[in-house]
């Protein structure tokens, strides 16, 4: 039996847990830090998960990240029903970087990563993360907005960073929890939201779903 179809190994010790519709190790780590065990609810091989993240023409960054997150949650709920797994709280999230109203998603290749980082060099950009939760037939969504100011970057620094491989799979071609943290002059907002899962918004949504994390 492949992993996509295997029944989940649910925590049996009373710990809070959620179905996480994301393979991001950063989101998994954040949930564990907050006392929540993530149970991965990942796409089946036939699902085109990347297609959900394609921006629509003229779409504003906030509208984009909300739409993608709602679509990820809907796909996860359909996946849960299709597999016949036990019911539970389902969480989905999406993060994007915006500069001058333009969406900077995950780089397709090294050239795209270098181009994005050159655009962000010496500028302040916005990081938007939407998180959505479903439980008991209800759905909730919240949006986190943060601003990140990067110092000016030399071309050689950008080249070395791209060569490290860290930009790939990251919105805006950088990871604030990695080497790129050395470039950040200032952030205004949620550090965990920039990483990929905003603590305040996620905690509030999980409480709405019946998971009180701090008692």
Which of the residues are catalytic? Answer: 94
Q: Is 68 within 8 Å of 49 (Cβ atoms)? A: no
Residue 152 token pair: 């000016």
Full DSSP string of 163-187: HTTTTTTSGGG--TTTGGGGGEEEE
Length of the chain: 215
Whole-angstrom distance, CA of residue 174 vs CA of residue 188: 17
Whole-angstrom distance, CA of residue 203 vs CA of residue 31: 10
Closest C-alpha to 132, from 159, 97, 178, 94: 94
What are the residues whose beta carbons fall under 8 Å from the beta carbon of 174, sequence distance 6 or more?
A: 117, 120, 161, 166, 167, 180, 183
Burial letters 17-51, b for 16+ CB under 10 A, else e: bbbbbbebebbbebbeebebbbbebebeeeeeeee
Residue 123: count of CB within 10 angstroms of its CB: 13
């Amino acid at each position: 039996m492949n992993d996509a179809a295997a029944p989940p190994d649910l925590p049996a010790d009373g710990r809070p847990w959620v179905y996480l519709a994301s393979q991001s190790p950063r989101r998994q780590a954040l949930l564990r830090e907050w006392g929540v065990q993530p149970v991965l609810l990942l796409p089946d091989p036939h699902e085109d998960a990347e297609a959900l993240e394609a921006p629509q023409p003229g779409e504003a960054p906030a509208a984009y990240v909300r739409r993608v997150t709602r679509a990820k949650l809907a796909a996860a709920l359909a996946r849960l029903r299709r597999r016949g797994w036990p019911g539970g709280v389902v969480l989905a999230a999406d993060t994007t970087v915006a500069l001058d109203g333009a969406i900077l998603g995950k780089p397709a290749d090294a050239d795209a990563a270098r181009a994005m980082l050159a655009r962000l060099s010496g500028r302040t950009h916005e990081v938007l993360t939407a998180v959505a939760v479903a439980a008991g037939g209800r759905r909730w969504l919240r949006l986190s907005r943060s601003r990140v100011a990067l110092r000016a970057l030399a071309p050689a620094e950008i080249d070395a960073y791209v060569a490290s491989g860290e930009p790939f799979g990251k919105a805006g071609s950088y990871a604030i929890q990695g080497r790129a943290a050395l470039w950040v002059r200032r952030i205004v907002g949620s550090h965990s939201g920039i990483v990929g899962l905003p603590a305040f918004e996620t905690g509030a949504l999980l409480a709405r779903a019946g998971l009180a994390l701090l008692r």
